[in-house]
Amino acid sequence: MDIKSSKAIIHVKRIKQFGETTLGKLTIEGVNKSWYVLEPGGPDSIIEGSDKRIKAGTYNVLLYNSDKYKNVYELKNVPGRTKILIHSGNYHDDTEGCLMPGKTWGAINDKQYHVGNSRTAFNEIKAEIQGKKSIQITITNQLED
């Protein structure tokens, strides 16, 4: 197996912030598809339980299981934060720092963003990265004014 096929590299480019939410675009190197990602609003935070988005950076990603979240992914070694997951969810209330993918996005009452078809988006992403020996995610802030 060549090195390229044994590693998945995910990119999340944060593009918009609105109220308590941040919207980003998720791509995977070598995959001709993209998804949206919903996170809490900023600024970036290293404070556990802050309900703010995590610090931009590069993190290793591992499969994660708990009673509440089965077969999702966890970002490792996030400064000041633990259990930052990639899981399905559509609204700000569904996250405390996690990344929730979606196929569509919109705004609720001019107050915050949401994503749609999150479970489908999560399953598509999972199918692309499943079985890779190494998964890495790079998150960048490229917010529009």
The pLDDT score that the predictor gives to residue 111 is: 86
Once rounded to an integer, what is the mean pLDDT over residues 16-44? 97
Once rounded to an integer, what is the mean pLDDT over residues 3-15? 88
Once rounded to an integer, what is the mean pLDDT over residues 83-92? 97
Once rounded to an integer, what is the mean pLDDT over residues 116-123? 98
Q: Are 118 and 79 in contact (CB under 8 A)?
A: no
pLDDT at position 1 over 50: no
Average pLDDT, the chain: 94
Once rounded to an integer, what is the mean pLDDT over residues 96-104? 96
The count of other CB atoms within 10 Å of the CB of residue 44 is 16
The pLDDT score that the predictor gives to residue 96 is: 87
Once rounded to an integer, what is the mean pLDDT over residues 15-38? 97
pLDDT band at 145 (very low <50, low <70, confident <90, very high): low
Lowest-confidence region among 3-7, 78-82, 98-102, 125-129: 3-7
Domain boundaries, position 136 = 3-141
Measured CA distances, 6 to 37, 64, 133, 136 (Å)? 24, 19, 5, 11
Q: What is the pTM of this model?
A: 0.94
Helical H runs in 25-130? 118-129
Number of domains in the chain: 1
pLDDT band at 4 (very low <50, low <70, confident <90, very high): low
